[in-house]
């Protein structure tokens, strides 16, 4: 079994990876406390100590609005650290698995984006993630770069948790309706990572850039209504009714960072290459709501959001 070094173990994708990566390797999982990716010397020392066959980097600066105010901090994690990981992978014949974002695109296209479409980020976060992608390409290392979108899980910071928390205390809410994309569970990204590593080892899948998302698409307003309706139907006590969620424009909402109005990802490439066959985004959201209710973890879910 290959030695896998998982970075960012405590994030949404990192937690999901901890559950499934042992199927394809011997995993050492590190969080920020063990390796701060802003510390280049620590990156080098950690990689030299572990000498992984596979580096899986689930760590990232993901605070999209905050990145506008702290671009250097975001770039240190999303670009400079990624460059160091890629250079180590290239020099040591290790495989790198890294995650990028739908926000590398400007949203101007009227169809889902393929891997062949030109990126053109419209916010700092997207620019730093694209710089990370380009550093990997420049290093010449063998790498899977999986571009993901609108990630949700029952842990961490995400729209799923934010909306359900607001729905407990608010009777009305404004949510933007002019940004289109696909909610995707962290678990699907983790399972797809295992698929990529396994198929790569069998030499039935080439490393490269792939889009990973659930099937279908929506906008944030409809997604919020779907979540609130689904949670209420499962007996979760909310003040907010779906009809009291108003659709607003991105201009009305005026977030610090601009977001693409279309960040749908075309996943055909991975489907053709590896049989990637995701379910509809609604299926995964339903599963997460069922899991939330069944686990009895509702108080934890709400109290730590
Ligand atoms: N979330 C989304 O909707 C989304 C959409 C598209 C693509 N992506 C990409 O998908 C990947 C996984 O995202 P995610 O949602 O799982 O992210 P996440 O939940 O925000 O987790 C990111 C992890 O990175 C860690 N981290 C941040 N700065 C660090 C540093 N300086 N040193 C070490 N660790 C650091 C964080 O630690 P702390 O908890 O201590 O901060 C956190 O555990 C990322 O590459 C992200 O860019 C995410």
The answer to whether residue 7 is domain-embedded is yes
Q: What is the pLDDT of residue 303?
A: 63
The answer to whether residue 199 is domain-embedded is yes
The verdict on the CB of residue 18 being under 6 Å from ligand 1 is no
Q: What is the pLDDT of residue 171?
A: 96
Choosing from 99, 103, 113, 125, the catalytic residue is: 125
Ligand 1 centre from 92 Cα, in Å? Answer: 25
The answer to whether residue 284 is domain-embedded is no
The verdict on the CB of residue 105 being under 6 Å from ligand 1 is no
**CB-CB contact of 184 with 213 (8 Å):** yes
Q: Mind giving me the DSSP string for 279-304? A: PBHHHHHHHHHHHHHHHT-HHHHHHT
The answer to whether residue 54 is domain-embedded is yes
CATH number at residue 109: 3.40.50.720
Structural domain including 151 reads 3-158+183-216+259-279
To the query of whether residue 284 is one of the catalytic residues in this protein, the response is no
The verdict on the CB of residue 13 being under 6 Å from ligand 1 is yes
The answer to whether residue 150 is domain-embedded is yes
The answer to whether residue 225 is domain-embedded is no
Ligand 1 centre from 58 Cα, in Å? Answer: 6
Here the tokens at position 36 are: 């701060």
The answer to whether residue 288 is domain-embedded is no
The verdict on the CB of residue 187 being under 6 Å from ligand 1 is no
Count of domains in the chain?
Answer: 1
**pLDDT by residue for the chain (305 residues), tens digit each?**
999 999 999 999 999 999 999 999 999 999 999 999 999 999 999 999 999 999 999 999 999 999 999 999 999 999 999 999 999 999 999 999 999 999 999 999 999 999 999 999 999 999 999 999 999 999 999 999 999 999 999 999 999 999 999 999 999 999 999 999 999 999 999 999 999 999 999 999 999 999 999 999 999 999 999 999 999 999 999 999 999 999 999 999 989 999 999 999 999 999 999 999 999 999 999 999 999 999 875 666 776 55
The answer to whether residue 105 is domain-embedded is yes
Q: What is the pLDDT of residue 299?
A: 64
Q: What is the pLDDT of residue 214?
A: 98
């Amino acid at each position: 079994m290959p030695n896998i070094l998982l970075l960012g173990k405590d994030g949404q994708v990192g937690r999901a990876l901890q559950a499934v990566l042992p199927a394809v390797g011997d995993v050492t999982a590190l969080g920020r406390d063990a390796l701060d990716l802003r510390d280049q010397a620590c990156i080098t020392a950690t990689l030299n100590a572990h000498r992984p066959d596979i580096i899986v980097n689930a760590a990232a600066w993901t605070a999209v609005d905050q990145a506008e105010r702290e671009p250097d901090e975001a770039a240190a994690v999303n670009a400079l650290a990624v460059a160091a990981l890629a250079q180590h992978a290239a020099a040591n014949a290790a495989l790198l698995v890294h995650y990028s974002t739908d926000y590398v695109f400007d949203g101007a296209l009227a169809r889902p984006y393929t891997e062949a479409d030109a990126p053109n980020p419209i916010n700092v976060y997207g620019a730093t993630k694209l710089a990370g992608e380009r550093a990997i390409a420049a290093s010449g290392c063998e790498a899977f770069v999986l571009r993901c979108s609108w990630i949700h899980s029952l842990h961490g910071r995400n729209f799923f948790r934010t909306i359900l928390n607001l729905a407990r205390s608010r009777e009305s809410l404004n949510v933007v309706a002019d940004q289109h994309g696909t909610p995707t569970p962290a678990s699907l990204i983790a399972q797809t990572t295992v698929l990529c590593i396994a198929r790569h080892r069998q030499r039935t899948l080439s490393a490269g850039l792939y889009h990973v998302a659930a099937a279908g698409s929506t906008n944030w307003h409809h997604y919020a209504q779907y979540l609130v309706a689904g949670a209420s139907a499962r007996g979760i006590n909310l003040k907010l009714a779906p009809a009291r969620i108003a659709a607003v424009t991105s201009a009305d909402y005026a977030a610090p960072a601009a977001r693409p109005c279309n960040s749908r990802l075309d996943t055909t490439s991975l489907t053709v290459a590896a049989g990637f066959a995701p379910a509809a985004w609604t299926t995964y959201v339903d599963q997460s709501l069922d899991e939330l209710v069944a686990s009895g973890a509702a108080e934890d879910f709400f109290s730590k959001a």
